[in-house]
Structure 1
Amino acid sequence: MAFLEIDSLHKTFGANTALHHFDMKIERGEFITFLGPSGCGKTTVLRMIAGFEAPTRGTIRLDGRDVTHLRTRQRKVGMVFQAYALFPNMTVAENIGFGLKVAHRPQSEIKQRVDEMLQLIKLPHLGERYPWQLSGGQQQRVALARALAGKPQVLLLDEPLSALDAKIRISLRQDIRALQRELGITSIFVTHDQEEALSISDRIVVMNEGRVEQIGTPLEIYNYPRTRFVASFVGTLNILSGHVIDPSTGRMAVDGQELRTAQTLPVGDAGKKRMLALRPEAIVLEAPAAGRNTLTATVEEVSFLGAIVRIRTRVKDEVISLDIFNDPNRRLPERGQPVALGFSHENLLVLEEGVQG
């Protein structure tokens, strides 16, 4: 039995369906990220796990206990919000200890736990300051300490870094992941930022329009997207239109040029149009080679991006971009120049047609 089980969770608001049959099993100590655009349902799931929203249908079990209809304070979850939600009239120490005070814990226990949390978030000398005297990153650390002070079984983080500047975001997300590993606490992190999701997660749940598109490790989500939405939402991607020549061998045609995918396709796909995905970094400029796919293209644009040079090419109706590392000793192709684009069979992915369920 998984530590946190979400079974057929469904949520409607009046005539609008915010979540369609969400299913997931989360193991103890996992760091899970819900990733997707605004309005995709990721925060709705988080709020139902926290007890802030009641599901229309479905069940939530935590450590074998049905918590679907329990109040938030009965669930042993800690929540970190996007807007910090600190009490401005309380000191840092008072904010961290607030939940323990509400739970009528002894003052000595509260002080000891607050001191532990201040050490944990690396702000041991700021306990007597007020939130307005702290930076945004410090305030979010305090919010994290408050969520952890009561020793929750699950830590929920609702876009906790979105209000911070880029440099602080990177630093704080690394700290959050380090703390999570140190404490071994099961955590669910909500974000619309693909880089955040890829950099800190054990598994990622990609959501769109209230449905799960794909669940997998960061490597699986990035390298093997199942649907067009996942492929285009996570990272830069070339989407090509191909026709199936031979499903059993993965032979495809793109604008009259034959390619192969490592995937085996259903027999009934012969002659059908399928969408293909190809990452820019998987393509190299090379002469045709045995055992590799090759497309003949024409260079449309060469863009210098620092460490990366992005080359945009065209194959009749298809625009294909490739990324190469900047090498000052390498001669770059010029606009209008014909080139051969090489890539392996494994890097050409056939996408599913839509979302799950």
Structure 2
Amino acid sequence: MAFLDISAVRKVYGQNVVVQDFNLAVERGEFVSFLGPSGCGKTTTLRMVAGFEQPTAGTIRIGGKDVTYLPPNQRNIGMVFQAYALFPNMTVADNIGFGLKVAKKPAAEIGPRVKEMLELIKLPHLADRYPYQLSGGQQQRVALARAIANKPQVLLLDEPLSALDAKIRVSLREEIRALQKALGITTIFVTHDQEEALSMSDRIVVMSEGRMEQVGNPFDIYNYPKTRFVAGFVGTLNTLKARVLDPGAGKLSIDGQEAVTSRPLNGSPADSIRTVALRPEAVALGERVNGGNGLSGTIEEVGFLGSVVRIKVRLGENAISLDTFNSSSVTPPKRGDTVSIAFTRDDLLVLEDNDAH
């Protein structure tokens, strides 16, 4: 049995379905991210796990115990909010020890635990400071220490890094992940930042309009998106219209040029239109190799992005962007040049939610 089990959970406000048919089994010690744009239902789902919202339907179990309708203080969860939510009139040490005092832990236990937490977040020298005397990154570390001081069964993080600048975000996400691994806390992390989710998670739940679009590890979510939404939301993507030539052989026509997928196109009759996708980094300039795919087109744009050169090749109705490393010894092609591009059969993804016409 999963340590955290969210089964058939649904949340409705009036006529508005915010979360629908959410099913997820999280193992003990696993780090799972809910990833999606604003309004997709990820924070509402987190708040139902925390007990701040009650599901319209479904059940939530932690450690085998049904907590669906229990208040937050009876769930043994730790919560870190986007806005830190530190008490401004309390010192760092008092903020960290607040939950322990509420739980009526003896002073002889609170002191050492607070000290341990301060060491863990590397801020023992700031124990007597107040929140206004701390940087944003330091405040978030204190909020994290407060959330884990009570040894929660599940740690919930609601976009905890979104208010920080880019450099601190990268540093703090590494610290959070290292801390989570060291303590082995089952963790749910809500974010709209794909890089955060990809770099931190054991698994990712991609959400859109209250639905679970796809669940998988970061490698599979990025390399094998199942729907057009996932493919477009996670990373940069080329989406193309292709006509099916031979479903059994996986053969397609892209602007009159043949390409082959690594799998049969089951359920797609000949002459039907499918949406296919390619990551820019999966495409290379040059002729096809080892039975891969090759197409020809005209250079439409060349853009310099520092270490990377992004080249857009027009095939006809479709265009493909590809990335190459910038090198002073290699002259990039010019607009109007005719070029060949190559990619493997595995890199040509056929998306499930086909709405091409």
Match of 2:249 in 1: 249
Deviations 1:277-299 (A, max 9, x none): 10000011112445111111100
The whole-number CA distance in structure 1 between the counterparts of 2:290 and 2:305 is: 32
Partner amino acid, structure 1, of 2:261: T
Superposition pairs for residues 50-89 of structure 1, below 5 Å? 50-89=50-89
Superposition pairs for residues 9-158 of structure 1, below 5 Å? 9-158=9-158
Match of 1:173 in 2: 173
RMSD over equivalenced CA pairs, Å? 1.1
1:192 paired to 2:189: no
The answer to which of 172-181 and 310-319 deviates more is 310-319
Question: Deviation of residue 265 (structure 1)?
Answer: 1.7
The whole-number CA distance in structure 2 between the counterparts of 1:246 and 1:354 is: 17
The whole-number CA distance in structure 2 between the counterparts of 1:304 and 1:279 is: 18
The whole-number CA distance in structure 1 between the counterparts of 2:48 and 2:354 is: 26
Question: Deviation of residue 39 (structure 1)?
Answer: 0.2
The whole-number CA distance in structure 2 between the counterparts of 1:54 and 1:209 is: 19
Equivalent pair of 2:243/2:273 in contact (CA under 8 Å): yes
Structure 2 unaligned residues grouped into runs of 5+: none
Structure 1 unaligned residues grouped into runs of 5+: none
Cα separation, partners in 2 of 1:354 and 1:127, compared to 1, 3 Å? farther
SS at 1:311's partner residue?
A: strand
Equivalent pair of 1:197/1:204 in contact (CA under 8 Å): yes
The whole-number CA distance in structure 1 between the counterparts of 2:303 and 2:251 is: 32
The whole-number CA distance in structure 1 between the counterparts of 2:339 and 2:229 is: 29
Cα separation, partners in 2 of 1:235 and 1:95, compared to 1, 3 Å? same
TM-score (norm 1): 0.98
Partner amino acid, structure 2, of 1:17: V
Superposition pairs for residues 183-332 of structure 1, below 5 Å? 183-289=183-289, 291-332=291-332
Equivalent pair of 2:274/2:354 in contact (CA under 8 Å): no
Equivalent pair of 1:263/1:350 in contact (CA under 8 Å): no
Partner amino acid, structure 2, of 1:140: Q
Partner amino acid, structure 2, of 1:169: R
SS at 1:302's partner residue?
A: strand
Match of 1:348 in 2: 348
TM-score (norm 2): 0.98
Question: Deviation of residue 320 (structure 1)?
Answer: 0.8
The whole-number CA distance in structure 2 between the counterparts of 1:314 and 1:348 is: 17
The whole-number CA distance in structure 1 between the counterparts of 2:133 and 2:236 is: 40
Question: Deviation of residue 269 (structure 1)?
Answer: 3.0
Cα separation, partners in 2 of 1:268 and 1:198, compared to 1, 3 Å? closer
Question: Deviation of residue 309 (structure 1)?
Answer: 0.6
Partner amino acid, structure 1, of 2:109: E
Percent same amino acid among aligned pairs? 64
Deviations 1:203-222 (A, max 9, x none): 00000000000001100000
Query: How many residue pairs were aligned?
Result: 355
1:6 paired to 2:6: yes
Equivalent pair of 1:54/1:68 in contact (CA under 8 Å): yes
The answer to which of 290-299 and 152-161 deviates more is 290-299
Partner amino acid, structure 1, of 2:85: A
The whole-number CA distance in structure 1 between the counterparts of 2:69 and 2:288 is: 62
Partner amino acid, structure 1, of 2:45: V
